[in-house]
Amino acid sequence: MAKGAESFRYFILGLLAQQEMSGYDIKRFLESLGWLVGNPSFGSIYPALHALLEDGLVTVEVVSRPDKPPRKIYAITKAGEQALQDWVAEPATIGSSRKAFVMQMILVGDFSQTGVIAHLQQRRETVVANHLALEQTIQGMGDRASLGQQLALEYGLTTAGAELTWLDSTLAQMSSDPGSDRLGTAT
């Protein structure tokens, strides 16, 4: 069963669901999103692609173009779509990382915006919990904390607060707007 929630494997599969690509393309796309999801090296991408192929979740097609070296275009299969949906709908994963959140949000955006809302709410809970835990730590440490510790704590509190604000406003916006002004999709 689909294990390894924080892994790039399923994220790569999800990207292939959005559009068929080569390993090289995936690398560049990931680079364009940069720090948001991190960018795995080729030494990570190619083996992942091979594994997906092994499991029958994707297919390859070698495409030789006249002016450029040949590329291996990977496309998702029915089985792959099923596995992806299982992963995306996966039990909440409270306390998961920011990267995992962003990755899942990117993928879930393909299916339903109700799913997106659920993910945002999930994230909200995680951030609230983080914020709370940090406040309690500050209570406990009081003024015994060093300068660096105090700054770190403030930093955490502030960034968590900002994230919360964004989540709330986005959530409000998406809830009030059942259709979709962003995409031509839906109905």
Partner DNA sequence: ACGCACATGTAATCAGTTACATGATTCT
Partner DNA sequence: AGAATCATGTAACTGATTACATGTGCGT
* Residue number with CB closer to a second copy (62 or 147): 147
Q: Is 97 in the site for DNA (CB under 7 A)?
A: no
Question: Nearer to DNA by C-beta: 90 or 168?
Answer: 90
Q: Which of DNA, a second copy, none sits in contact with 3, Cβ below 5 to 8 A by type?
A: DNA
Helix/strand/coil for 76:
strand
Classify each residue of 130-160 as buried b or exposed e, where b means 16 or more C-beta atoms within 10 Å of its C-beta. bbeebeeebeeeeeeeeeeeeeebeebbeeb
| Span interacting with DNA, options 3-11, 112-120, 122-130, 135-143, rule CB under 7 A | 3-11
Asked if 3 interacts with DNA (CB under 7 A), we say yes
Cβ–Cβ contacts within 10 Å for residue 73, how many? Answer: 17
* Local structure of 141: helix, strand or coil: helix
**Interface residue with DNA, options 41, 139, 146, 187 (CB under 7 A):** 41
Q: Is position 43 an interface residue for DNA (rule: CB under 7 A)?
A: yes
Task: Fill in the DSSP letter of residue 2.
Answer: -
The CA-based angle 27-51-85, given to 5 degrees, is 80
Binding stretches for DNA (CB under 7 A): 3-4, 6-9, 22-25, 38-44, 46-50, 64, 66-72
